[in-house]
Amino acid sequence: MTNTHVILVRHGETTANHEQRWYGALDAPLTERGQHQVQATGERFAQRRAGAPVDALYVSPLPRARSTAAAISAALDMEAIVDEGLREFSIGDWEGRTYQDLIDNEQLWARWAK
């Protein structure tokens, strides 16, 4: 029996991460730090490629995820498969709000704390 290994990779830091904003379906570009993280991730995959072959690479359609997958794709010399099923879900009223906004908004905070 063959073992299957699934490796999950989160995108590099985005401007929304840096600004401590909630976001799901909205996209935010990678920061300079995020771009460095993406490069380092690609290099890590290139190093482990021989010992642990990768059969497929799936990615969300959002640009932040695709940017991250591009570095891995290049390291593995394989195309990433864009999968709508991996699209981040909307978080409604919270999209784009800062963490502090939600703490300061008693009604939203109460709904979260329930």
How many whole angstroms separate alpha carbon 9 and alpha carbon 34? 13
pTM of this structure:
0.81
pLDDT band at 110 (very low <50, low <70, confident <90, very high): confident
Of 110 and 64, the structure prediction assigns the larger pLDDT to: 64
For 60-76, what is the mean pLDDT?
93
- The gap from C-alpha 5 to its chain's centroid, in whole angstroms, comes to 19
Contacts of 71 (CB under 8 A, 6+ apart): 38, 39, 41, 42
Contacts of 5 (CB under 8 A, 6+ apart): 52
Of 99 and 111, the structure prediction assigns the larger pLDDT to: 99
How many whole angstroms separate alpha carbon 49 and alpha carbon 62? 25
SS3 content of the chain, % helix, strand, coil (to 5): 50, 5, 45
> 10-42 pLDDT, tens per residue?
999 999 999 999 888 999 999 999 999 999 999
How many whole angstroms separate alpha carbon 61 and alpha carbon 59? 6
- At 111 the pLDDT is 76
> What are the residue boundaries of the structural domains of the chain, listed by start?
15-113
Of 4 and 13, the structure prediction assigns the larger pLDDT to: 13
- At 70 the pLDDT is 94
> 94-104 pLDDT, tens per residue?
889 998 988 88
CATH 3.40.50.1240 applies to domain 15-113: yes
- At 46 the pLDDT is 87
- At 61 the pLDDT is 96
